[in-house]
C-alpha cells in the first residue's frame, strides 16, 4: 500500500477517534486502524454488522447507544448491515419448555423487522442500510456443514461463556442445541464478510465468535467493538423491556421527557454520552459543570430530556414537552416523593370512582363535593366536571387539595 497523504492521515485520525469514543473495548485496535486506512485509500466502504433479535422489536434508549455508533460509521460513508435473526426465531424453543422463545411465523418476522426499520429510521438513514435475514444462509446448511462448523470450537471454550458456566455451577441443565446460537450468530459474519461487528459488553462472547469463525473459513477477520450497557430508570439493571425500566423511542414526547427526569443523578453524564448526539465538547462541558456544581442536576436533566425528545420527535415537540413539564410539575410545585398506588380497575373510569378506588376520598359524595370546590387535579389540570371519564395510564398524578398526591401505577 502507498503511504497516506497528509490529508488522508488527518482523516484517518479523525475517524478513529470518533469511532473509539465511548467504546469499552475494540478487539483489536490495530486492525480497526488498518481497515479504516485501507478504506480511505481505496474508497471502499467498510461493512458494519449489527445482529437483531427478531422477537423483541421494541426499541428503547438502550439500543440508541449502538445506533449512535452505527450512525457515525454511516455518516462517514460506511455500510450498515442489519441482520434479523429470523432463523432462530422461526425454530422457536425446540424443547418446547420456554414460552418466551415461541415459534415465529414468516409474517411475525416481517412485522417485527418493519418495526425495527421504522424505529431505527429515527437515528439512521435507512435507505443506505442493508437488511438481511439470516435464514437465507442458515436454512441451506446440512449436517455435514454443521459438523464442519462445530469442529471449529471446543466444548471448553463454549462453556467458558459466562451464562453457561453459571448454569453449570448451579447445576442447571444446558441443552446441546443452545451451543448453536453463538455459532449461528458468528456464521452470519462469515456469510456477510463483515468488517466490524458492534455489540454491548454482554455480547462479548457472541461477537468474538464471528471473528473466530471467519478465520476458520479463511476469511478476513472482523473487528469487534463493545459498547457500554445503559442502565435503566432504576439506575441498577440494564435497560430492558422485561425489567420495565426503559424509555421507548416510540413513546410520546411528554412520556420520554418525564421518564428522563426520573433517572438518578449519577446517570446524567452517562446518558448524555451514550444516548445523545450532542458534540463531544458539549458533553464534556456538562460533565464539568456537574462536577464543580456550577450546573444544577435538575437543569442538566431538563437539558438531557429535551435533547432526547428532540432526537426522536424534533425540536418543536421537545420545546412543548419542556413547557408541559414546567406547567404540570414545577409550577404546581409537586413534592419530591409521591406515593405510587396500583390501579387494578378499568382503564377508563369515572373520576369519582377513581378517587374512591384509590382511597383518596372516603365516599362518592365527598369526592363530588371536592370536585365542585376545585380541589381535584389530574396531571396538574383542574377537574371540574363530576361526570368526567378518566383514561387511567401508568404514571398519571392525581392530586386532592394542596398536599395529597398519588402516582397511579397500572
When binding is defined by CB under 8 A, the residue of 14, 102, 128, 177 that contacts its own copies is 177
Q: Is 75 within 8 Å of 139 (Cβ atoms)?
A: no
Of 91 and 341, nearer to its own copies (C-beta) is 91
Is residue 288 part of the contact set for its own copies (CB under 8 A)? no
**What is the per-residue binding string for its own copies in 104-143, x denoting contact by CB under 8 A?**
----------------------------------xxxxxx
Instruction: Please choose, from the candidates 89, 107, 96, 99, the residue with its C-alpha nearest in 3D space to the C-alpha of residue 51.
Output: 89
Q: Is 79 within 8 Å of 46 (Cβ atoms)?
A: yes
Q: How far is the CB of 208 from its own copies (least distance, A)?
A: 16
- Chain-centroid distance, C-alpha 341: 28
Residue/partner pairs of 168-176 with CB below 8 Å, 24 or more apart: 175/95
Q: How far is the CB of 197 from its own copies (least distance, A)?
A: 21
Is residue 363 part of the contact set for its own copies (CB under 8 A)? no
Q: For the residues of 318-379, what is the DSSP string, one character each?
A: HHHHHHHHIIIIIITT--S-PPEEE--S-SEEEHHHHHHHTTSSSSHHHHHHHHHTT-EEET
When binding is defined by CB under 8 A, the residue of 18, 153, 295, 320 that contacts its own copies is 153
Residues 213-272 touching its own copies, rule: CB under 8 A, are none
3 state SS of 98: coil
Q: How far is the CB of 218 from its own copies (least distance, A)?
A: 13
When binding is defined by CB under 8 A, the residue of 179, 295, 349, 380 that contacts its own copies is 179
Beta-carbon count within 10 A of 41 CB: 15
Q: How far is the CB of 139 from its own copies (least distance, A)?
A: 7
Of 179 and 329, nearer to its own copies (C-beta) is 179
Q: How far apart are the C-alpha atoms of 73 and 223, rounded to whole Å?
A: 14
Is residue 154 part of the contact set for its own copies (CB under 8 A)? yes
How many chain residues touch its own copies (CB under 8 A)?
A: 35
Span near its own copies by CB under 8 A; candidates 11-19, 174-182, 263-271, 387-395: 174-182
Span near its own copies by CB under 8 A; candidates 10-18, 89-97, 110-118, 305-313: 89-97
Is residue 180 part of the contact set for its own copies (CB under 8 A)? yes
Residues 58-87 touching its own copies, rule: CB under 8 A, are 87
3 state SS of 51: strand
When binding is defined by CB under 8 A, the residue of 150, 254, 287, 386 that contacts its own copies is 150
Of 154 and 326, nearer to its own copies (C-beta) is 154
Residue/partner pairs of 314-322 with CB below 8 Å, 24 or more apart: 317/253, 318/253, 318/257, 320/253, 321/253, 321/254, 321/256, 321/257, 322/257
Q: How far apart are the C-alpha atoms of 295 and 288, rounded to whole Å?
A: 9
Q: How far apart are the C-alpha atoms of 87 and 137, rounded to whole Å?
A: 9
Of 93 and 237, nearer to its own copies (C-beta) is 93
Q: Is 241 assigned to a binding site?
A: yes
Q: How far apart are the C-alpha atoms of 209 and 205, rounded to whole Å?
A: 6
- Dig out the grid coordinates for 272 from the structure: 448524555
Is residue 91 part of the contact set for its own copies (CB under 8 A)? yes
When binding is defined by CB under 8 A, the residue of 3, 7, 144, 292 that contacts its own copies is 144
Which residue shows C-alpha cell 405510587?
A: 340
The helix (H) or strand (E) run that includes residue 229 is none
When binding is defined by CB under 8 A, the residue of 155, 292, 336, 344 that contacts its own copies is 155
| 264: Cβ contacts below 8 Å, ≥ 6 apart | 235
Calculate ∠ Cα 78-274-323, nearest 5°.
115
Q: How far is the CB of 310 from its own copies (least distance, A)?
A: 45
Q: How far is the CB of 216 from its own copies (least distance, A)?
A: 10
Span near its own copies by CB under 8 A; candidates 37-45, 180-188, 236-244, 319-327: 180-188
Q: Assign residue 335 a region: left if phi > 0, alpha if psi is -120 to 50, beta otherwise?
A: beta
When binding is defined by CB under 8 A, the residue of 14, 102, 128, 148 that contacts its own copies is 148
3 state SS of 124: coil
Residues that bind its own copies (CB under 8 A): 87, 91, 94-95, 138-148, 150-156, 158-159, 164, 168, 173-177, 179-180, 183-184
The annotation places the binding site for ATP at: 241
Amino acid at each position: 500500500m502507498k503511504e497516506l497523504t497528509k490529508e488522508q492521515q488527518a482523516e484517518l485520525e479523525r475517524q478513529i477517534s470518533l469511532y473509539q469514543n465511548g467504546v469499552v473495548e475494540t478487539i483489536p485496535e490495530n486492525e480497526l486502524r488498518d481497515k479504516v486506512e485501507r478504506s480511505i485509500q481505496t474508497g471502499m466502504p467498510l461493512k458494519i454488522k449489527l445482529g437483531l433479535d427478531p422477537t423483541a422489536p421494541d426499541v428503547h434508549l438502550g439500543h440508541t447507544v449502538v445506533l449512535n455508533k452505527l450512525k457515525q460509521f454511516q455518516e462517514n460513508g460506511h455500510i450498515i448491515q442489519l441482520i434479523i435473526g429470523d432463523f432462530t426465531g422461526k425454530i422457536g424453543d425446540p424443547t418446547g419448555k420456554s414460552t418466551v422463545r415461541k415459534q415465529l411465523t414468516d409474517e411475525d418476522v416481517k412485522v417485527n423487522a418493519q418495526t425495527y426499520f421504522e424505529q431505527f429510521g429515527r437515528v439512521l438513514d435507512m435507505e443506505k442500510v442493508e437488511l438481511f435475514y439470516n435464514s437465507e444462509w442458515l436454512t441451506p446448511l446440512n449436517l455435514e456443514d454443521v459438523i464442519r462448523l462445530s469442529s471449529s470450537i471446543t466444548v471448553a471454550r463454549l462453556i467458558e461463556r459466562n451464562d453457561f458456566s453459571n448454569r453449570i455451577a448451579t447445576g442447571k441443565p444446558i441443552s446441546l442445541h443452545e451451543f448453536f446460537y453463538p455459532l449461528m450468530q458468528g456464521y452470519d459474519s462469515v456469510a456477510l464478510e463483515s468488517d466490524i461487528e458492534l455489540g454491548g459488553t454482554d455480547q462479548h462472547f457472541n461477537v468474538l465468535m464471528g471473528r473466530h469463525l471467519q478465520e476458520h473459513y479463511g476469511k478476513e477477520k472482523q473487528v469487534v467493538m463493545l459498547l457500554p450497557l445503559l442502565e435503566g430508570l432504576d439506575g441498577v439493571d440494564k435497560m430492558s423491556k422485561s425489567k420495565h425500566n426503559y424509555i421507548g423511542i416510540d413513546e410520546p414526547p411528554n412520556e420520554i421527557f418525564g421518564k428522563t427526569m426520573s433517572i438518578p443523578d449519577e446517570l446524567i453524564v452517562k446518558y448524555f454520552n451514550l444516548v445523545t448526539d450532542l458534540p463531544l465538547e458539549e458533553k464534556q462541558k456538562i460533565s464539568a459543570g456537574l462536577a464543580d456544581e456550577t450546573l444544577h442536576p435538575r437543569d442538566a436533566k431538563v437539558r438531557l430530556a429535551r435533547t432526547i425528545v428532540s432526537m426522536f420527535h424534533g425540536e418543536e415537540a421537545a420545546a412543548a414537552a419542556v413547557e408541559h413539564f414546567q406547567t404540570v410539575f414545577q409550577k404546581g410545585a409537586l413534592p419530591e416523593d409521591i406515593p405510587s398506588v396500583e390501579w387494578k380497575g378499568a382503564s377508563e373510569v369515572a373520576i369519582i370512582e377513581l378517587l374512591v378506588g384509590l382511597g383518596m376520598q372516603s365516599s362518592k359524595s365527598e369526592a363530588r363535593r371536592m370536585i365542585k370546590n376545585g380541589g381535584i387535579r389530574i396531571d396538574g389540570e383542574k377537574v371540574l366536571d363530576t361526570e368526567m371519564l378518566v383514561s387511567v395510564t401508568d404514571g398519571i398524578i392525581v392530586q386532592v387539595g394542596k398536599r395529597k398526591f398519588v402516582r397511579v401505577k397500572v
